[in-house]
Each structure stands twice: as C-alpha cells, then as structure tokens.
Amino acid sequence: MRIEQNFSLENYNTFHLPVKTRWFMEYWTEEELGRILRDEYFQECLSTHIGAGSNLLFVNDYNGIIVHSQIKGMETVGETDDAILLRVGAAERWDDVVAYAVSRGWGGIENLSGIPGETGAAAVQNIGAYGMEIAEVVDSVETYNQLTFEKRVFTRAECQYDYRDSYFKNPHHDPHIVTHVVIRLARRPVPRLDYGDLRGRLEGQKPTLQAIREAVLALRAEKLPDPDQLGNAGSFFKNPVVDRATFERLKAINPTIPSYPMADGRIKIPAGWLIEACGFKGKRYGAVGVYEKQALVLVNLGGAQGDEIALLAESVRAAVFDRFGVELTPEVKYVG
C-alpha cells in the first residue's frame, strides 16, 4: 500500500492540472483495498476513486482522499470454440489490453484502440468509439462495495449499460469499486467497419485485427490531441440524444445537421457539430481552448486551472442551449 500526503495529481489527470490532494492512497491487492475502506478515518473523509484520470476535471485542490488501484494482470479464465474469457485487473491500461487481444487474434475490442485510461474505469464509463462499446464484450465485473465491504460479481445485464453510462455511475447506488473485468473475445473475429471514417480507410480490404487497430489509431491521431502534448480529457460532453420531434425542428432550421439514429427511435446529434456551429472551434481563451480539429475536446494550452476549463465548458453549454435549445451534459466527471 502507498499513502502520500499533499500529493500532486498533475500526472494523474490528462488535463495535467497542477492540483493537489490532501491524501493519495494506492493499493495492490483486494485485501489492501479492504483495509483502506474499513479504516475509520477513511470513512469520515471525502474520497474519490480514480483510474488514469483521463475523464476527470479537478476544479480545485481535493480536500479528501484520492484512491487509485494498482491491481493488474490479464489471465484467460475460460475458453470455448468461439470465445475467450479474459480476466483483467482494473489498473491495467486499457490500450495494453487491446494490444494484447489483437496480438493473439482475439476480436471484439480492436475498434477501441488508443483510448486513454484504465480497464476498471473503462467498464464504469462504458467507453465507446468507432461503432463499438466495451459493454458488448463485458462478461462480468468484479467489485467491492465501499459501504458494506461486500464483494459482488455483476453480470453484464446487471451493469445496466447505456451510452457512456452504467449501474456504477448512478449516484443512488452504493459506490462499487471495480477490481477486475472479465471480457469475452471472439476467436473468429468479424470486423466492425460500420463507422464511416473507418470504412473509408479500409475500403475493399479484408482487414486483420492489427490493420483495424492501426487504422483506428491513425484516425484518432488526426482528430484527438495527445494528452501528453496538450492536456485534455477526450470528448468533454456526451453527444446529446433527442426525440424525433426535436430533431425535425432542428433539421428544419439547420438542414446540414448530422444525426445518428438510435435503436430506441431517438436521434443522437454530434455535440462537436453543435459547438462548431456556435463558433468555438479552435478558439483560445487565455490558457484554455477548444481543439482546432475536434470541437468536442477542450484543451489546456499550458498552465490552465480547472476552474478555467469549467468556465469555458459553461460558456459552450450556454451557447449551444441558446442557439439550439439542446442541453449538453459533460462526459467528464468534475471532482473537487
């Protein structure tokens, strides 16, 4: 176990904000996690469990305990003719899991290449990209209840996955800390190339998993800034989902508005388009800005504070609401 006081989180958030936490605790085993959670001082304090901090906005210094897992490891725990069950420690970098699966020819997560963050958080957040979501391959999620200290294995159905949402994000549920994620990978992968940009790159080919991974990494590099070069947390907002009547009203006034139909009949609208239409793309405001190649990404241009990013996000939200009547909700989690 590792315990630090007045600890800098600069390398634990991809905005690279120079925030400090009063306490920082890291554990390597479930037993250590149990000891942290049962500690009386811990129970009295404000606490937040983080992954790699690639989807967090620390609005100021954290007056509590930041907890981080170091539970790693990948092991095959089941095998059939069609599938492999891979059990992954929550602290394993998600992209290392993708690279491992791709190198063995196991399919199902190759489109999720290059997403920053750790596996536990990926399963909480239901990460998605290029027509795939982690929810589709989650077999089960192993957790530790922060209040009752019970271990529980959630089936995929019990995780209640939705677009960037899960049981674990619902504030009405007891906080559950993910220790391991079991994913089901296909031994005979079927490429998933529905996403326009990806299909465009691989047109006419029968791509290998490795070729798909490389195409996804190249697409990401074109549109998304590398957090080590330019602090950011990927998409700052979720893409809003509206009912058909709302969409028809928007389309009548904005004929070029892009849209993606959802299975339930509602329509997903790219927030990046709405933000660009409000004139924010590429704009700089002191130390913060809107990325020039993808308006959904807010960036730390150097030396930004969390509240400056929060203020820019609020201006963007208000402008989109005034112009389109559509409410943007942050995808990143505010902490502090």
Looking at the DSSP assignment, which residues form a beta bridge with residue 48?
66
* Nearest partner of 63 among 20, 27, 15, 33, judged by Cα: 20
Q: Which residues does 40 contact at the CB level (< 8 Å), separation at least 6?
A: none
Interface map 195-234 toward ligand EPU (x if CB under 6 A): ----------------------------xx---------x
Residue 164 among the catalytic residues: yes
Output the smallest distance, CB 216 to ligand EPU, in A.
9
Report d(CA 154, CA 174) in Å as an integer.
14
* Among 130, 154, 161, 247, contact with ligand EPU (rule: CB under 6 A): 130
Nearer to ligand EPU among residue 159 and residue 332 (C-beta): 332
d(CA 160, CA 177): 16
Q: Which of 247, 273, 300, 305 binds ligand EPU (CB under 6 A)?
A: 273
Instruction: Count Cβ neighbours within 10 Å for each residue of 159-176 and write b for 16 or more, e otherwise.
Output: bbbeebbbbbeeeeeeeb
Among 21, 126, 179, 235, binds ligand EPU (CB under 6 A): 235
Rule CB under 6 A: is residue 289 a binding residue for ligand EPU? no
Q: Which residues, 313 to 332, sit near ligand EPU by CB under 6 A? A: 331
Contact 313/330 with Cβ under 8 angstroms? yes
| 189 counts as binding ligand EPU under rule CB under 6 A | no
Catalytic annotation present for 244:
no
Member of 238, 249, 251, 266 binding ligand EPU (CB under 6 A): 238
One residue of 50, 296, 299, 309 binding ligand EPU per CB under 6 A: 296
Q: Which residue in 129, 212, 313, 320 binds ligand EPU (CB under 6 A)?
A: 129
Unique residue bearing structure tokens 């793309």:
281
How many residues touch ligand EPU (CB under 6 A)? 18
Pick left, alpha or beta for residue 278 (phi over 0 → left; psi -120 to 50 → alpha; otherwise beta): alpha
Active site residue 235: yes
203: number of Cβ within 10 Å: 8
Instruction: Note whether 239 and 261 are within 8 A (CB).
Output: no
Catalytic residue among 166, 235, 308, 317: 235
With CB under 6 A as the contact rule, the residue among 16, 156, 281, 317 that binds ligand EPU is: 281
Measured distance CA(182)–CA(88) in Å, rounded:
6
- Please give the DSSP secondary-structure letter assigned to residue 204: T
Tell me the closest approach of the beta carbon of residue 14 to ligand EPU, in angstroms.
10
Residue 302 backbone zone (phi > 0: left; psi -120 to 50: alpha; other: beta): left
**Which residue in the list 35, 164, 192, 249 is annotated as catalytic?**
164
**Cβ-contact 102, 213 below 8 angstroms:** yes
Q: Is 282 in the site for ligand EPU (CB under 6 A)?
A: no
Site residues for ligand EPU per CB under 6 A = 129-130, 223-224, 234-235, 238-239, 258, 270, 272-273, 276, 281, 294-296, 331
Active site residues: 164, 235, 331
